[in-house]
Amino acid sequence: MIYNSIDDVPHFKMKTPVQKTVQFFKRVRDIYYSKRKEYDKRPISAIITTIVASVASRNSNYGLSTIDLIRTVITELKTYNMFNSLKEEEFYINYPNSVDINKINGKWEMINPTNPKDNLVDSWNNDESISELFFDWLDVIDKEVAKIISNPTNTVLYENLLGVKAIGEALGMTQKENTTKGPKPYGEY
C-alpha cells in the first residue's frame, strides 16, 4: 500500500531501529558468508537478534538511531574477540559489561533467552573456524560502515556491503550497468 506521507503510515508498519539493525546484520551476514562460500558457518539469526536486542536494551536511555545502534553493536561484538588474546579472568575485568557471549573454561557460551538450556554458539566449540570467521566478518562490517559514514553518498560502498540488487531496489533502479566488473565485495580481506 502507498501512503501520501510518513504521517499516514500506521505505526505498526514502521520499523524500529532495533528491527532495522537486525535486518542490516542479517543481510550483511548473508552476503558475506555467501561470497566466502562458507554459508553453513554463518551465525544463526538468534545470535544476531539476541545481541542487537541486548545492546539496545542496555543503551535504551540514549534513544539510539539505527546507525548508532549498528556502531554500538559492532563495538561490543569486537570486544569478544579479545577472548583470543586475554585470559578469561582478564577479559571480565577489562570488559565487565560484555555479557552476551561468554567463554568459560575455553568454551564459548551464549544462552538462548527463550531456552536457558540452549547454547546458541555451541557450534563454535566444535569448529574453531566458525568463531574466527565470525570475528573476521565483524572486522569487515566495521571497516565498511566507517567508509559509508565518511562518504554517505557513494552508493558503491552500500552495494559492497548490502548487495547491488538490494541497493538498486532501494534506489528504484531496475537494472545496474556493468555490475559484473564492479569492485570486489568488502574490499580486500
Question: What is the structure's pLDDT at 115?
Answer: 92
pLDDT of residue 67: 78
- pLDDT at res. 55: 85
Q: Concatenated DSSP letters for 123-189?
A: HHHH-HHHHHHHHHHHHHHHHHHHHHHHSTT-HHHHHHHH-HHHHHHHTT-S--TTGGG-PPTTS--
Residue 147 has what pLDDT?
74
Q: What is the pLDDT of residue 77?
A: 82
Q: Please give the pLDDT value at position 100.
A: 83
Q: pTM value? A: 0.71
Q: Which residues in the chain show pLDDT less than 50?
A: 166-183, 186-189
Residue 14: what pLDDT?
A: 65
Q: What is the pLDDT of residue 167?
A: 47
Decide if 144 contacts 160 (C-beta within 8 A): yes
Measure CA 170 to chain center. 19
pLDDT for residue 159: 60
- Cell 532495533 identifies what position? 18
Per-residue model confidence (pLDDT) at position 74: 86
Selection from 70, 62, 56, 74 nearest residue 21 by Cα: 70
**Contacts of the segment 121-127: beta carbons below 8 A, 24+ positions apart:** 121/47, 127/41
- Residue 15: what pLDDT? 74
Number of helices (H) and strands (E), helices first, in the chain?
8, 4
| Confidence at residue 83, expressed as pLDDT on a 0 to 100 scale | 78
DSSP state of 10: -
Find the length of the chain.
Answer: 189
